[in-house]
Chain A
Amino acid sequence: MLFSLTTQELMERPDLWEAVHRLRYKIFVEEMGWSDLARPDRLEIDQFDHDEAEHHLVIRNGELAGYQRMLPTTRPHLLSDVLTDLYEGTPPSGPKVWELTRYAVAPGHRDGKRGVSTVGTELIAGFVEWGLKRGVNQVIIEFEPMWVLRALQLHFLARPLGYQRTYGNQQVVATLLTFNEHTLEVVRERRNHFAPVLNRGYPVQFGLKQAS
């Protein structure tokens, strides 16, 4: 189950808001070591959590299992303002291009030994569904070069936006992924799950597990 919430909507649900920023801290500061983002309250928040950002939350058994943040490229975003050495020339932007950031799967939900977990592929199915619904067909992602292979396996059209760079002990390459209905079909086939994953409204209150 994946929910897409604007920053405003997320803030209206303090339980979700806290779970999101805590998971981000756990993964990006503690696990990946992005120490610039360290804070004493152990919540990871940056300047791009603005009112046009969209937060995708995957919920499993009343818990936040996966997360990604979508940023419009019509205003400053990570590639244009922070990761400027990752592109050559002029990076793509416009209403049909969004940037996918903070892709994260909570530690308890990484079932695929080396492969991509079901929560991980739900996030992928989620942004494709979300994009096709609102006329977005391109996403910029800064990821490890390894992901290029997986994107191609899912029949995304991939194109690097610049050279790969090394940040700390991580290789990163900015990539533009283009998708359509066919991509969604392939993603669903790979997941062996054909129903839409994107839900309307809010997940139930955290801590109040449903009886079933």
Chain B
Amino acid sequence: MGVDAAMSQFDRTLEFMDQLQHAGTAAAVCERLLSVTSNFGLTALMAGTVPRPGTPRGQQKDHVLLCDWPGDWLERYVQRNYVDHDPVVSHMKNLQAPFQWREASKMITIDRDSDEVMGDAREFKLRDGLAFPLVTLDGEIVMVSLGGEAVHLSEAEFSMVSLVSTYAIGRAMQLHTMAGKTIDHIELAPRERECLQWAAVGKSEWEISQILGISEHTSEKHLLNAKSKLGAVNRVQAVAEAIRRGYIS
């Protein structure tokens, strides 16, 4: 009986890893991972490389690999530069093994700023969680943090969750390198570029259609194509990405 129960839990873990291998986007990886960890009360996830202290706020989000964190919390975290004061982050830099958030707050002398980070986290229903660092081939540290309101984990579940998360991060990194490769080969059609150029100066789809002498539907289609080629989630990001890559000015 006990053996059967243990086996089936292991089989579920394997099945999950198989699903991960087929996840095609970071969002899908996130969703699968949280579907497992939410059984233990871990409902929010953040994983990424640690920005060096003093990294401009604008660049902090580039370090994120996987994120399903309350949106406002992420905004506030970046806005107030919490990464430099987060006790979980400092603790992670000194340790190799997984640990629980509450240990991090206990072990370092809390300054006023760290206290503010943890207090604010609780406001966003992130009362406790677990975190661990991973080291990549190049020696870069990837920080993984999972949190929630009521976290219950036995020691065995704790290591299962950290292993499963490692597979999820690995999959996210594979997708990241694959995306890096395909994104370098994007080719925007002349019309798509023109539409983006006009969107960049604030023209609506209807205005663009009038300027270029095409239908509104066609201008919408060009913008959608450009958006997906650039891997952007909305038009603002598509414009920003096109400028960054030098397709429009």
Contacts and interface: CB of A to CB of B under 8 A. Distances in A.
A158 B164 CA distance: 12
A113 B6 CA distance: 39
B179 interface: no
B170 interface: yes
B239 to A, nearest CB: 32
With a 10 A CB-CB cut-off, give which of B10, B13, B137, B160 has the most chain A CB atoms.
B137
Contacts, number: 76
Contact of A115 (B139, B167, B174): B139
B7 interface: yes
B222 interface: no
A171 B159 CA distance: 9
A159 B170 contact: no
A152 B162 contact: no
Contact of A160 (B17, B173, B174): B17
Interface residues of B, number: 31
With a 10 A CB-CB cut-off, give which of A115, A150, A152, A155 has the most chain B CB atoms.
A152
B137 A190 contact: yes
Chain A interface category by residue count: 20 to 34
A41 interface: no
Given A88-B10, A162-B10, A171-B97, A150 B163 contact: no
A148 B159 contact: no
B138 interface: yes
B159 A163 contact: yes
A134 B112 CA distance: 61
Nearest to B155: A166
Interface in B67-121: 96-97
Which 10 A/B pairs are nearest by Cβ-Cβ distance? A152-B170, A115-B139, A114-B139, A88-B10, A115-B138, A148-B166, A149-B134, A149-B170, A150-B137, A164-B159
Interface of A: 88-89, 112-116, 121, 145-146, 148-155, 157-160, 162-164, 171, 173, 190
20 contacts: A88-B6, A112-B138, A112-B139, A114-B135, A116-B137, A116-B139, A145-B163, A145-B166, A146-B96, A148-B163, A148-B170, A150-B137, A151-B170, A152-B167, A152-B171, A152-B174, A163-B159, A164-B159, A164-B163, A171-B159
